[in-house]
């Protein structure tokens, strides 16, 4: 029998109207009343609403009755659009049979539109194209249609819609029912369900969001998590209809939540298969590829008393963000903290804001850096912390991570963007015109060059019109050096960066000058030096605050004045020897702005 369940997601470039379309679908299907409705209702995080972006994929169940009175269950998963959250998109696609591809009529096809379409095609999903925002005066439907045909290679006729005005919503729902393959119902097999999301509830423990492929999951059932081997009893199962609605069971083809009193957050692995303990499945879901962080930074509490709070907060956050990786570390300048791995610089920013808002912490972040592979003699080391980088004399080869970047922009900004990529050590791979006005460029770029300031610079030189997406490729050899900053003759590990040989001099001058302006004057002179390979390549001095020791000398012999000055000089020398330089938090932010 054909199932009445349709599992689908919405994919698009950032800010093309995914969340607004989800709002209209919820209204159209009567899942939520006009009175309860608010914009971006699926974006539950305050941060998502403020920034107008989706950070986490959201699942919601809609019951819909068509004109003939036939009832359908529509399971919608709203996905993020930013390149840093591609992982969230891939997880959503694994739980679906179809995807609504949204293209902004005013912007046309952009970089993430291209990337997410490829993900959906690779997952063999049925794609339903929608050209959104047709009500805007700047909408160019013909151009968007032409770009979709040429750039995305999607043959289906697009539905013209305006999510804001509610135009075309009925056609989208009808198209989902007609074109998305019904979920396969296999109820006589042992339970096989995939975990594609989870979150933490302080009363009920870890709540997992699952898609059931085979069998059924019900209250009281003893379940086993196949990757971790943990065993639990199901306390509650149900559907996500904005709020959680308890049900007797979740059967094959359905999407819902499971509560099993899971207190140990380490038992949950996103992509794991849930099966029945007494009758396990013989074919677990292949899961997702293990996600590896690409950008690392140190997170330190401003007060040492907050260290335990930061540790607990990271554990809880890791539950809803499985791509976050962290390990404890200590810094001479900053004390105890954690070395954290992120998918990109936006991911770093979001994690920091979430930790501060949701857990009331006050944090300090060191400069982000990437993972290098270093060959010393015959051994190869992986280094995620610049302070641990070996001396250049011992290194025979260094490999740095590279990405293949796709940039889509109007032809008039081509020159400025070529210049930007050249400055960032990029190598051009492809340049083609999507039509007479739009250009697609592919570049191989070092990841270290794009994690700080690149996106802002790209938007700046293209007046906001260029879009950018990247995927990771094999690491390549690079001529890199470790740049260390010494303050009062002591190396401050938090300021250490890895940079290209050609950029070391300018980076050294930038940092020493910046720090001279930020670090306050002390009672003794403070030298700020930058060194590469034990050779000082830049220096700035912060002069001492001096007490006027000659104020009480109204006259008399010059030797008396000299004696007082010499005594002061000796005191300053001793102070400099034993004195401790207070470095304000703003100084650590200076390193983040080195490439701007």
pLDDT digits (tens, 9 = 90+) for 374-415: 888 878 888 877 878 887 777 788 888 888 888 888 888 888
The two counts, helices (H) then strands (E), for the chain are: 14, 32
pLDDT value, residue 403: 85
* Token pair 């982000």 in the structure block, residue: 368
- pLDDT-derived band at 371 (thresholds 50, 70, 90) equals confident
Q: Which helix (H) or strand (E) holds 382?
A: strand 379-383
pLDDT at 578 over 70: no
- pLDDT-derived band at 49 (thresholds 50, 70, 90) equals very low
**Contact in structure between 527 and 541 (CB atoms under 8 Å):** yes
- Residue 89 or residue 241, greater confidence: 241
pLDDT value, residue 450: 81
pLDDT at 173 over 80: yes
- Sort strands 497-500 and 526-532 into parallel, antiparallel or unpaired: unpaired
**Contact in structure between 307 and 259 (CB atoms under 8 Å):** no
Distance CA 68, CA 89 (A): 34
pLDDT value, residue 51: 46
pLDDT value, residue 344: 72
Q: Give the residue from 287, 296, 374, 303 showing the smallest Cα distance to 335.
A: 303
- pLDDT-derived band at 181 (thresholds 50, 70, 90) equals confident
Distance CA 91, CA 255 (A): 13
Residues 6+ apart with CB under 8 A from 587: 495, 515, 518, 519
Question: 127-131, 140-144, 547-551 — which is least confidently predicted?
Answer: 547-551
- Sort strands 369-370 and 379-383 into parallel, antiparallel or unpaired: unpaired
DSSP label of 181: P
pLDDT at 322 over 80: no
Q: How confident is the model over 414-440, as a mean pLDDT?
A: 84
- Residue 150 or residue 1, greater confidence: 150
Give the burial string for 56-89 (b: 16+ CB within 10 Å, else e): bbbbbbbebeeeeeeebbbbbbbbbbbbbbbbbb
Give the burial string for 296-331 (b: 16+ CB within 10 Å, else e): bbbbbbeeeebeeebeebbebbbbbbbbbbbeebeb
pLDDT at 532 over 80: yes
pLDDT at 456 over 80: no
pLDDT value, residue 596: 45
Determine whether 173 is exposed, middle or buried from the number of CB atoms within 10 Å of its CB (0-12, 13-18, 19+). Answer: buried
Per the prediction, the chain carries an average pLDDT of 78
Distance CA 136, CA 246 (A): 41
Structure tokens at 91: 């997880």
Q: What are the tens digits of pLDDT across the range 472-484?
A: 788 888 888 888 8
Q: How confident is the model over 268-282, as a mean pLDDT?
A: 79
pLDDT at 84 over 60: no
- DSSP β-bridge partners for residue 526: 542
């Amino acid at each position: 029998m054909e199932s009445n369940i349709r599992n689908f997601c919405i994919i698009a470039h950032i800010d093309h109207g995914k969340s607004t379309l989800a709002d209209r679908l919820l209204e159209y299907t009567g899942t939520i009343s006009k009175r309860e409705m608010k914009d971006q209702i699926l974006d539950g995080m305050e941060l998502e609403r403020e920034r107008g972006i989706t950070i986490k994929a959201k699942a919601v169940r809609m019951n819909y009755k068509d004109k003939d009175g036939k009832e359908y269950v529509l399971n919608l998963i709203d996905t993020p659009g930013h390149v840093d959250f591609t992982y969230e998109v891939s997880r959503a696609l694994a739980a679906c049979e179809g995807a609504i591809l949204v293209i902004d009529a005013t912007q046309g096809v952009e970089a993430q539109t291209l990337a997410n379409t490829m993900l959906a095609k690779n997952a063999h999903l049925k794609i339903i194209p929608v050209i959104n925002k047709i009500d805007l005066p700047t909408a160019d439907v013909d151009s968007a249609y032409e770009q979709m045909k040429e750039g995305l290679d999607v043959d289906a006729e697009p539905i013209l819609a305006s999510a804001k005005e509610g135009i075309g919503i009925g056609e989208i729902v009808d198209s989902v029912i007609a074109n998305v393959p019904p979920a396969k119902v296999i109820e006589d097999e042992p339970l096989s369900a995939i975990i594609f999301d989870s979150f933490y509830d302080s009363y009920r423990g870890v709540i997992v969001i699952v898609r059931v492929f085979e069998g059924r999951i019900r209250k009281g059932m003893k379940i086993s998590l196949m990757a971790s081997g943990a065993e639990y009893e199901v306390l509650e199962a149900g559907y996500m209809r904005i709020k959680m609605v308890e049900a007797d069971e979740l059967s094959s083809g359905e999407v819902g939540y499971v509560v099993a009193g899971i207190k140990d957050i380490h038992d949950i692995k996103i992509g794991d298969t849930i099966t029945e303990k007494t009758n396990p499945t013989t074919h677990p879901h292949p899961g997702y590829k293990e996600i590896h962080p690409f950008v690392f930074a140190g997170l330190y509490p401003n007060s040492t008393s907050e260290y335990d709070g930061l540790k607990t907060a990271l554990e809880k956050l890791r539950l809803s963000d499985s791509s976050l990786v962290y390990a404890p570390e200590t810094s001479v300048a900053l004390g105890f903290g954690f070395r954290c791995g992120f998918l990109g610089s936006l991911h770093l920013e979001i994690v920091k804001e979430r930790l501060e808002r949701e857990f009331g912490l006050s944090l300090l972040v060191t400069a982000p850096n990437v993972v290098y592979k270093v060959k010393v003699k015959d051994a190869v080391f992986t280094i995620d912390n610049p302070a641990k980088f070996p001396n250049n004399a011992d290194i025979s080869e260094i490999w740095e991570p590279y990405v293949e970047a796709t940039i889509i922009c109007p032809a008039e900004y081509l020159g400025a963007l070529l210049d930007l990529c050249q400055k960032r050590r990029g190598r051009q791979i492809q340049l083609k015109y999507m039509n007479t006005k739009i250009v697609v460029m592919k570049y191989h770029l070092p990841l270290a060059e794009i994690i700080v300031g690149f996106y802002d610079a790209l938007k700046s030189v293209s007046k906001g019109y260029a879009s950018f997406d990247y995927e990771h490729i094999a690491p390549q050899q690079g001529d890199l050096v470790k740049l260390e900053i010494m303050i009062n003759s002591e190396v401050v590990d938090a300021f250490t960066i890895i940079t290209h040989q050609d950029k070391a001099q300018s980076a050294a001058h930038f940092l020493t000058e910046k720090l001279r302006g930020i670090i306050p004057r002390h009672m003794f002179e403070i030298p700020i030096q930058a060194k590469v390979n034990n050779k000082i390549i830049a220096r700035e001095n912060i002069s001492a605050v001096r007490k006027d020791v000659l104020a009480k000398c109204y006259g008399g012999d010059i030797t008396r004045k000299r004696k007082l000055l010499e005594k002061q000089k000796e005191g300053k020398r001793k102070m400099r020897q034993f004195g401790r330089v207070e470095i304000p938090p703003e100084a650590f932010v200076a390193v983040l702005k080195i490439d701007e």
